Chains A and B, each alone.
Chain A
């Protein structure tokens, strides 16, 4: 599946905006990303395994709030930085 990376996280991905990743669940995919790009997961997921307040994650067009959600190989994941101005 393809993971879309927001600009705020591209310092971790060598400026790549799209990454290919495998996993049975969103948790799996984020762990895979963190193995390849250490530190990226903690910037968007808390130590209590919750999505941080100003981060949104969409699978295809549906917003996801639970990391245990099952994924399909052709799913597209968007990580979005949302509403944190000032």
Chain B
């Protein structure tokens, strides 16, 4: 699939940044000033709701969509057009079609992932759900419909596997990516179920799992067994994607179809297991990960209780530990796949939310870290909104 390498360059931001924080008990907005030194936390919004993702529409910088449910109540999407001052619920949230009488239809347990559409398609959004489903809205999140054929396709349903093949919180469709050069060029990932690509606007999708490893004893040729945790596409080089997988850190440079394990270059005692994958807004060779303990029974905490980000500036050939400012010991938290992000300032700001309810930030590309907020509920997602 030959494409021009040139993409719309990601512009430097010099304005204020706000962090949209989705937690197990509601949503918060942490507003920073232009210097990113002073931050003010909002009151909780939708207190008690389980919020998996809160995302600003970069096309208007006012509309925010929030994926939420409660312990009792079913999943929905809330929408604000005034940056969180007021909210309305979607008229028709993502839902699978009603099954014919006598058949077991699927039920959306929660909306897990939200992606704004291509800049040239205002109002278009994509959503990924648990269990795995792909949905689209053409009206800014007011109404949602199943998108593409994959939700009901027998082959895709086989690749999605059963609940046993998914994460402890249910199998998920996530990492919905849009090529900035072509709105018909799409990717998504499933935990479990691999990475998939469409070049025809979702009319067809195909797996993209070559080179990815699976858990020992499982056949890597079987799509079901692949568990990509987070896939990101380089904004300034959309032919390059990075992936934090259940089985390592990978990179792919299209048109190659072969993922290359770049996590093998991480320190052996740390390993290359984790959830988030964060890309530099302008340098396709610079990415950050936040490793977690994936040994034995998978504790999913910072290795040794010593949190650290790792950065590469050469596409994964070498990695550097970044732990200045983090606790030196006894910090048994980690960072979920949607809870680490970057802004677009000249000195890139990095932000992460922890499973223990803390927000940490670095104004120096990860060289040093400061805790901005403590005592929030468990953080599920954190997105940097450029104001």
Q: Which residues of A contact B (CB under 8 A)?
A: 6, 8-9, 38-39, 42-50, 52, 54-55, 81-82, 84-86
Given contacts A46-B107, A47-B96, A47-B108, contact A52 B74 (CB under 8 A): yes
Given contacts A48-B98, A50-B107, contact A9 B71 (CB under 8 A): no
Task: Flag if B95 contacts A42 (CB, 8 Å).
Answer: yes
B281 at the interface (CB under 8 A from A): no
Report B205 CB to chain A, min CB distance, Å.
23
Q: Give me 26 A-to-B residue pairs in the complex whose CB atoms sit less than 8 angstroms apart, sorted by A's number.
A: A8-B72, A9-B73, A38-B91, A39-B76, A42-B74, A42-B76, A43-B73, A44-B73, A44-B74, A46-B107, A47-B96, A47-B98, A47-B108, A48-B96, A48-B98, A48-B99, A48-B104, A48-B106, A48-B107, A54-B71, A55-B72, A81-B72, A81-B73, A82-B72, A84-B70, A84-B72
Task: Flag if A43 contacts B74 (CB, 8 Å).
Answer: yes
Report B48 CB to chain A, min CB distance, Å.
8
Report B79 CB to chain A, min CB distance, Å.
12
- Among B71, B93, B105, the residue within 8 A (CB) of A86 is B71
Report A24 CB to chain B, min CB distance, Å.
20
| Contact pattern, B 72-84, Cβ under 8 Å of A = 1, otherwise 0 | 1110100000000
B97 at the interface (CB under 8 A from A): yes
Which of B72, B107, B108: most chain A Cβ within 10 A?
B72
- Among A9, A39, A52, A55, the residue within 8 A (CB) of B89 is A39
Report B383 CB to chain A, min CB distance, Å.
25
| Contact pattern, B 90-126, Cβ under 8 Å of A = 1, otherwise 0 | 1101011111000011111000000000000000000
- In the bound complex, CA of A18 to CA of B88 (Å): 23
Task: Flag if B108 contacts A39 (CB, 8 Å).
Answer: no
Task: Flag if B73 contacts A8 (CB, 8 Å).
Answer: yes
A52 / chain B contacts, CB cutoff of 8 Å: 72-74
- In the bound complex, CA of A27 to CA of B234 (Å): 49
B69 and chain A: residue at smallest CB distance: A43
B70 / chain A contacts, CB cutoff of 8 Å: 8, 84
A45 and chain B: residue at smallest CB distance: B74
B71 / chain A contacts, CB cutoff of 8 Å: 54, 84-86
Task: Flag if A49 contacts B98 (CB, 8 Å).
Answer: yes
B93 / chain A contacts, CB cutoff of 8 Å: 39, 42
- In the bound complex, CA of A45 to CA of B72 (Å): 11
Closest 6 CB pairs of A and B: A84-B71, A47-B95, A43-B73, A81-B72, A48-B105, A46-B107
- In the bound complex, CA of A49 to CA of B106 (Å): 11
Q: A39-B90, A46-B74, A52-B72 are in contact. List 7 more A-B contacts (CB 8 A).
A: A42-B93, A43-B76, A44-B74, A52-B74, A81-B72, A84-B70, A85-B71
